[in-house]
Chain A
Amino acid sequence: MSEHQEEPKLMIDLVKVSKTYLPDIQALSDVSLSVRKGEIVFLTGKSGAGKSTLLRLLTRMEKPTKGVIEVSGHDLNLISTVKLQILRRSIGFAFQDFKLLPERTVAENIAIAMEVSYTRPSVMQTRIRKLLQRLGLVEKHNTPTSGLSRGEQQRVAIARALANNPELILADEPTGNLDSETTEMVMALFRQYNQQGATLVIATHDTSIYQGTSHRVIELREGRIVARGDEEPEAEAPAPDPALAFADDLFSDE
């Protein structure tokens, strides 16, 4: 597939993607999946089903053994280094293992994603403050992340993923260490970003965050898609939502 010149409607397009780890571990087998811009998709399945592998392939942390992956119109098999770097700046990834720098403070960890995009320090500070406020971590602004609980670290990882106003948000078990109240706080934040136009792919075990949802829930089992939820739903039109006010407020500093 060639890279499109015009604005693509699909954010993610996977065609018969397989991933095999040596010696012979089949993590994904012939997975085909399309995600429209502005959509929220939940990836579910047991541990080892291939959810995290799929997310890693989407940021080209790993390459597929076969198949084609397009993200935002870019074929990840053919993308140049520079274009991949630019693409990654538009993806917010909340990693399952958080990938926080333990000796750096909460604010510094969140700032990393914005620093590589050369965001102005004053803008960075405003965004960090607002995100911490929203995630209930204001007091932890100057605390090294090594001094935080797992739940707090998870929220910092989420804040970093959202800080750069990404077009695509990938979240790997984002609520794994959170209580129900904080889970709802995080999901509300995700919904706000979605209503701003961001596409979300959330890999999770936590049934509570997608039960009764109108969004697609895709189940993976042994590297294959076994349930697709509603096929290719139309992207939800951003509905008036009080939560939008926060997102507007967050980026109003630019």
Chain B
Amino acid sequence: MNFFLAVIKQTLRNLVQTWKSQLLTLMTIALSVLIFAFFYLLYTNALHTARQLDDDLRLIVYLDEEPSPAMQEEYRNKIQKFDRVERIDFISRHDAFNRFAEQLDEDREILADMPKDFLPPSIEVYPFRSLVTLTKIKRFSDYLLTLPGVLKVQYGREWVERFYSFIKLLRIVVILSGTLLILTTTFMVANTIRLTLLGRKDELELLRLVGASTNYIRVPFFLEGALQGMTGSACGMIALFLLFNWIKLRFAVSSILAMFEFTFFPLPVIAIIILVSTLLCAIGSFSSTRKFLQL
């Protein structure tokens, strides 16, 4: 029998002997992963949605006078100086009138007696679509107001701020649930291993007396921890996938949720979550055996 076979045999024996506490730990890990992954999924989807909504995000800078081509270039430079933007469009009084008329559609007759230059000229600034843009948009707006000839700057301020607050809140929840995941997995596994070690004190003493190597004693517990982490997190991810599909089927068709496209984690993200949980549990187990066995 080689080392690996002996260690695997010992690990399986450990698992069978303490299956009740193993099951409890497994469920706790699965639940922690489920909670964390749920909020993280919500967060990633919120970011995705933000990107979709950002398509309409633009800052409209109203000017008091029609800018000359030289002035347009100066505006362009000053805007680019603050931040790189995706696009800058100059809308003349005439263009603004035409747009307005288009929007009124059948009611455009009401504009018949209006002069064609009654609307102010404007610059439409399309920022790059990212969360960073959202956080900077107020400062961007304040900056644009300082430019010469600017009357007013408009953007979906209330919406942007609310959405940004929501994302900020989600980010905090993700961090908290992530911390919860780290604490639970590490401490629960460390605790289960400690209980197992206490329960098998006599056997461990005997193993030492008959000359078992440090690795022969320690590796099965390490494997046990890693196995708990892997199985527990995999169960958590499966539960989340089922929950995700249920929510999608149950709510997405008939509610506001239908407006947005929700996606599950891509495979690499799933693999990373499982890998990190496995690693955390292995560390928990390792520290526990190290302390208890003083190896």
Question: A residues near B, CB below 8 A?
Answer: 59, 61, 81-82, 84-91, 93, 99, 101, 103, 112-113, 115-121, 124, 160, 164
Contact = CB atoms under 8 A, between A and B. Distances in A.
A120 B1 contact: yes
Contact of B211 (A85, A121, A160): A85
Nearest to A100: B206
Given A88-B211, A120-B1, 13 more contacts: A81-B214, A82-B213, A85-B213, A88-B209, A89-B210, A90-B211, A91-B211, A93-B209, A112-B207, A116-B207, A116-B212, A124-B1, A160-B210
B211 A118 contact: no
Nearest to B207: A116
Nearest to B217: A116
B3 interface: yes
B163 interface: no
Nearest to A90: B211
Nearest to A161: B210
Interface string B209-224: 1111110100000000
Contacts of A118: 1-3, 6
6 contacts: A82-B214, A85-B211, A99-B205, A112-B210, A115-B6, A116-B216
Among A82, A85, A87, A116: residue with most chain B CB under 10 A: A116
Contacts of B216: 116
B161 interface: no
A85 B2 contact: no
Contacts of B211: 84-91, 116-117
Given A85-B214, A99-B202, A101-B202, A119 B209 contact: no
Interface string B260-275: 0000000000000000
Interface in B1-26: 1-3, 6, 9-10, 17
A89 B209 CA distance: 8
B203 interface: yes
Secondary structure call for the B interface: helix
The list of the 9 closest CB pairs from A to B, nearest first, reads: A88-B211, A89-B211, A116-B212, A113-B210, A85-B211, A118-B1, A99-B206, A85-B213, A116-B210
A113 B1 CA distance: 13
Nearest to A84: B211
A116 B6 CA distance: 8
A91 to B, nearest CB: 8
Contacts of A93: 209-210
Nearest to A104: B203
B202 A121 contact: no
A78 to B, nearest CB: 18
A101 B3 CA distance: 22
A112 B6 contact: no
B193 to A, nearest CB: 19
A120 B5 CA distance: 10
